[in-house]
Amino acid sequence: MEACLTRIEDPAGEGKRVFLQVDRDAALAQADAMDALRSCGAAPSPYAGIPISIKDLFDVAGQVTRAGSMALADRAPAENDAACIARLRQAGFVFIGRTNMTEFAFSGLGLNPHYGTPLNPWNRTQRHIPGGSSSGAGVSVADSMAHAAIGTDTGGSCRIPAAFTGLVGYKPTARRVPRQGAIPLANSLDSVGPIARSVSCCALLDALLANEALPNLHDVSLSTLRFALPRTYVLDNLDRRVADDFHNAVSRIAAAGARIDEIDVPEFAQIPAINAKGSLVSAESYAWHRSMLQTQSATYDPRVLSRIQAGATQSAADYIDLLEARARFIAQVNQRIADFDAVIMPTVAVIPPRLVDLQFDGTYYRTNALVLRNCAVVNFLDGCAISLPMHASGEAPTGLMLACRQNMDRRLFRCAAAVEYRLTSANP
């Protein structure tokens, strides 16, 4: 805990941009208490005392939940912990502070004009973006300010920061982890997940968040697994570095005995047309924000505001059509991938852009759409997914994503552990 706080408080570090609130005294007191409990054999779990960061989207008793916004700065402190936060507290994890994020979680890039944007640890002098919306969450772990982070994922908001910072990020089947006490972006798509340094760390946190037993991660061989590699949509417009890393990763996995079948998934290419009259995110975020916009719209990030306001143009019929189209999409894609252990694809199509390259709105919106594209497919599918690092040490960070149908989370973790072992092995 003391080592994490030292890094947070380093004047040359990113602590001030990563954390919107640091609970220094309370965190140290809790760490001391867990040490005392452990010394007499009374620690609540083997993980008691581990410092983790919490995205500024979750209620923590006695704290103000701002969701990275100025519009909620005067909000009353929460009376209770969010349901998922309460589960982690019961296990003895210590919350070191609240992390920065894209305002109201509405972007995959991680920019925040109100509180500053945490800089990506990779090539930091060039000021690359961290990925979002859980931007501070990813950097807090990458910079060892916390040993794991809890974020949310509506279209990639755990997996994108993980891919951009060389970490592991998990998006569970949405209904597995309770979302009470978390400010929503889109109730149809929101999920709660961890960012950490390994598959096993994410599996542990996910099990606690979902109130389930930890899956056995060591009983699967790659030679027994069959992966689907979609040719449609998710391989379009890949950055050269991403394409090379993905090819190398797939080759290593196949060399270890996994069967990888390239398949067409035409439904993926239909997603832009399905959302042509507006997305679930726009419709559902507008429903939550519409009353606050009447008095607080001037305090919003204009780039976030414009996308929320787009929901005002969607009719009830448009929204119902969208829900029905999603149900058809889920049924059709699930049928295509039913015989595979997981789907494999790049997490993000590009390496982390520089902040300076996103100063113009046109570039910002195009880049945001491309960064979100692959991850958002899984949210629309109501599936589960994990991002693993696939780049060479010192190179631009890139992520490999494995995904499954809904409620296949435990199998996905077992597949991911086998893939992680191969990608981190010294063998070529």
Look at residue 260 and give its three-state secondary structure: strand
DSSP state of 113: T
407 burial class (0-12, 13-18, 19+ CB within 10 angstroms)? Answer: middle
Look at residue 270 and give its three-state secondary structure: coil
Contact 311, 346 (CB under 8 A): no
Per annotation, catalytic residue among 53, 69, 107, 133: 133
* Residue 428: per-residue pLDDT: 60
DSSP state of 217: -
* Residue 389: per-residue pLDDT: 98
Q: How far apart are CA 182 and CA 209, in angstroms?
A: 13
Per annotation, catalytic residue among 53, 55, 135, 140: 55
Taken as a whole, the chain contains a residue count of 428
Is 133 among the catalytic positions? yes
Taking only the tens place, the pLDDT of each residue in 277-323 is 999 999 999 999 999 999 999 999 999 999 999 999 999 999 999 99
- CA angle 311/313/319 to nearest 5° reads 65
Q: How far apart are CA 10 and CA 45, in angstroms?
A: 31
Contact 69, 299 (CB under 8 A): yes
Contact 189, 281 (CB under 8 A): yes
Buried/exposed 130-167: b ≥16 CB within 10 Å, e otherwise: bbbbbbbbbbbbbbebbbbbbbbbbbbbbbbbbbbbbb
Taking only the tens place, the pLDDT of each residue in 341-380 is 999 999 999 999 999 999 999 999 999 999 999 999 999 9
* Residue 219: per-residue pLDDT: 86
Q: How far apart are CA 304 and CA 295, in angstroms?
A: 16
- Strands 399-404 and 384-389, bridge-based pairing: antiparallel
Look at residue 291 and give its three-state secondary structure: helix
pLDDT in single tens digits along all 428 residues of the chain: 999 999 999 999 999 999 999 999 999 999 999 999 999 999 999 999 999 999 999 999 999 999 999 999 999 999 999 999 999 999 999 999 999 999 999 999 999 999 999 999 999 999 999 999 999 999 999 999 999 999 999 999 999 999 999 999 999 999 999 999 999 999 999 999 999 999 999 999 999 999 999 999 988 999 999 999 999 999 999 999 999 999 999 999 999 999 999 999 999 999 999 999 999 999 999 999 999 999 999 999 999 999 999 999 999 999 999 999 999 999 999 999 999 999 999 999 999 999 999 999 999 999 999 999 999 999 999 999 999 999 999 999 999 999 999 999 999 999 999 999 999 986 56
Q: How far apart are CA 347 and CA 374, in angstroms?
A: 6
- Please report, in angstroms and rounded to a whole number, the separation of the first and last CA atoms in the chain: 37
235 burial class (0-12, 13-18, 19+ CB within 10 angstroms)? Answer: middle
298 burial class (0-12, 13-18, 19+ CB within 10 angstroms)? Answer: exposed
Q: What is the pTM of this model?
A: 0.98
Taking only the tens place, the pLDDT of each residue in 137-157 is 999 999 999 999 999 999 999
The domain spans of the chain are 2-424
CATH of domain 2-424: 3.90.1300.10
Q: Of 421, 392, 386, which Cα lies nearest the Cα of 257?
A: 421
Is 157 among the catalytic positions? yes
Per annotation, catalytic residue among 53, 134, 135, 157: 157
Q: Of 185, 187, 148, 186, which Cα lies nearest the Cα of 170?
A: 148
137 token code pair: 């969450």
